[in-house]
Amino acid sequence: MSRRLTLAFGLLLSACLSPRQAVEPRYFSAAGPAPTVSAAASAQPTGPELRLRRVFAADYLRDRMVWRRGVEVGFHDLLRWTEPPASYLEARVSQELFERRGLRRVIRPGAPSLAVELLAFDDVLEPVHEGVVAIAVLLVDRAQVARLERTFRASRPIEGDDPEAVARALGEALAEAVTELGAAVEAALGEGPR
């Protein structure tokens, strides 16, 4: 009996210590295709001047994909973004405002400035499985008066649990929210001084 127990223990120990294939994280991009740029917008920009400040994201939005269920927020253990979500947002906002809409990028401190913060970039699990993006903006004119202070929100349904579907849905929601943001910024800048 003791010999069998020793043999069973040895087999169990060797099974526990045998090398296993490590599970590697998977990486996804939510950048999506660049928005189309008209020939007029790709020429020298002639629109209003705008200083785009650094784009921030909520502290929990880093390299790991985030899931949300009600008020609970968690992280997918092995699902990562290729870049922080704030980078996707900054690239999209720059393309939308300066390439697609033809605004003139300036870095002068006295120019109208746009502050952008990514509030949500979440895989929402309940009540409906969807990718949700929320972006807060503050546009301040030359006189340091707020011209636009608003949160833009977009969502896309997600079918199943495929992380590629999550990345696609979040990329599409990001594109929709940024297009709406671009139109609002352009309209606010075109209103002239108050």
The pLDDT of 23-31, averaged and rounded, is 88
3-state secondary structure of 57: strand
Quote the tokens at residue 190: 């075109």
Least Cα distance to 60 among 77, 73, 72 occurs for 73
Q: Which tens digit of pLDDT belongs to each residue from 72-96?
A: 999 999 999 999 999 999 999 999 9
All structural domains of the chain: 26-190 (3.40.50.10610)
Cα angle vertex 62, ends 61, 68, to 5°?
40
Beta strands in the chain (DSSP E): 26-28, 49-52, 56-57, 64-69, 72-81, 104-105, 113-126, 130-140, 146-157
Q: Which tens digit of pLDDT belongs to each residue from 50-78?
A: 999 999 999 999 999 999 999 999 999 99
**Integer Cα distance of 44 and 86 in angstroms:** 27
Given a cut of 80, is residue 183 above it in pLDDT? yes
**Integer Cα distance of 130 and 173 in angstroms:** 10
Cα 72 from chain centroid?
Answer: 19
Residue length, the chain?
194
Q: Which tens digit of pLDDT belongs to each residue from 157-178?
A: 999 889 999 999 999 999 999 9
pTM greater than 0.85: no
**Residue 6 binned pLDDT confidence (cut-offs 50, 70, 90):** confident
